[in-house]
Amino acid sequence: MIRSYTNYPLRKHHTFGTDASAKYYFEFTEAEDLAGFLITNKEWQNWPVLILGEGSNLLFVNDFEGLVINPNIPGIASVHEDRNNIWLEVGAGVIWDDLVEYAVLNRLGGIENLSLIPGKVGAAAVQNIGAYGMEIQNRIVSVTGFDLETQTESTLKIDDCQYAYRDSIFKNQLKDRYIITSLVFKLDKFPEFILNYGDLKTEVEKLGEVNLRTIRKTVIHIRESKLPDPKVTGNAGSFFKNPVVEASLAEQLLTIYPKMPHYPATDGKTKLAAGWLIEQCGWKGFRRGDAGIHEKQALVLVNYGNATGKEIFELSEEIRQSVQEKFGVELEREVNVISLP
């Protein structure tokens, strides 16, 4: 199935609930459709490109004056199996949480802590989605997609994807050019549970037996209790990444703020909690017009109704500046802002 439109409204295609439109919009459900479209519409080569999933990590501050490509490819198929593992090939357009539900129902472990993260499977591989002690890079075997620059399809093995915390090659060298069409995941038939994040273990144990279903149920419950539902209140999850700073800066801050949450990160660095830093600056629950900061999670900016993308963006820049002034820590956006001049 192919759908293509000009001057296409995007409000229903992202979770912040702001108005924006695309000059051109192309959605397809089979990988072969893309090559056909690109051959018959050569003028696309002069347009900026935005690859779209569910729009749960985007903030539109302007209309998109280019081509939006939505690879809405369905399908979950088992492609290999041995005694301990199953390899699943999954289309980029599959809703991420449908895949988690499928895995849990089929007693396959490895992604249950990532329950209820919004978005599609393709974008999960871009962002290296993570939550409750799990990251998707630990389950990806390979990523297949179409490179607009070389006009070829290719498959990247996990070691070529340059995964790090909320980072990958698809956010850097291959950004806006490599359209992910499918992924292969490796899941466990005899899973070892990861329950060391916060009070996850205690919460799961309250349900009795610890298994994939009770972990999924608990994660969903925790998430629903502190994150706003985008269907009700516009948002894109954490607006900023948790900053990774030099250990010396973290130690300096800990002498002033001994209760500051901090975690060991790679290369001897320290990860701080952006939500805590923002809350300390007094922003939690703040509202200006319809743009605000969630009252239960200071890392989540929200649209209470009719905020514009620009209003939300301006608020985010004020937050960034105040954290820099108070703590000397620079916050990096996790949300993709479309399109900054």
- Which residues are at the interface with ligand FAD (CB under 6 A)? 15, 50-58, 71, 92, 117-120, 122-124, 126-127, 129-131, 170, 179-180, 227, 230, 235-237, 336
Nearest approach in angstroms of CB 81 to ligand FAD is 26
Q: 85: closest CA among 110, 60, 61? A: 110
Partner in contact with 241, chosen from ligand FAD, ligand EPU, none, beta carbon below 5 to 8 Å by kind: ligand EPU
Q: How far is the CB of 130 from ligand FAD (least distance, A)?
A: 5
13 binds ligand EPU (CB under 6 A): no
Instruction: Determine which one of 21, 56, 238, 316 is catalytic.
Output: 238
3-state secondary structure of 333: strand
284 counts as binding ligand EPU under rule CB under 6 A? yes
Query: In angstroms, what is the minimal distance from the CB of 16 to ligand EPU?
Result: 13
275 binds, among ligand EPU, ligand FAD, none (CB under 5 to 8 A by kind): ligand EPU
Contact flags string 178-207 toward ligand EPU, x per CB under 6 A:
--------------------x---------
What is the nearest approach in angstroms of ligand EPU to the Cβ of residue 211? Answer: 20
- Regarding beta strands 270-272 and 244-245, do their DSSP bridges make them parallel or antiparallel, or are they unpaired? antiparallel
Radius of gyration of the chain (CA): 20
**Are 308 and 18 a contacting pair, CB within 8 Å?**
yes
By CB neighbour count within 10 A (0-12 exposed, 13-18 middle, 19+ buried), where does 172 fall?
exposed
**Among 139, 166, 216, 320, the one annotated catalytic:** 166
Q: Is 27 in the site for ligand EPU (CB under 6 A)?
A: no
| Cβ contacts of 214 within 8 Å, gap of 6 or more | 204, 207, 208
CA angle 315, 176, 39 (to 5 degrees): 140
Can the peptide bond before residue 339 be classed as cis, meaning omega within 30 degrees of 0? yes
- Comparing CB distances to ligand FAD, the nearer of 253 and 307 is 307
Known catalytic residue: 238? Answer: yes
Q: Is 111 in the site for ligand EPU (CB under 6 A)?
A: no
Among 71, 228, 275, 292, binds ligand EPU (CB under 6 A): 275
Residue 167 in contact with ligand EPU, rule: CB under 6 A: no
Residue 45, C-beta contacts closer than 8 angstroms, at least 6 positions apart: none
Segment (H or E) for 148: none
* CA–CA separation, 31 and 239 (whole Å): 31
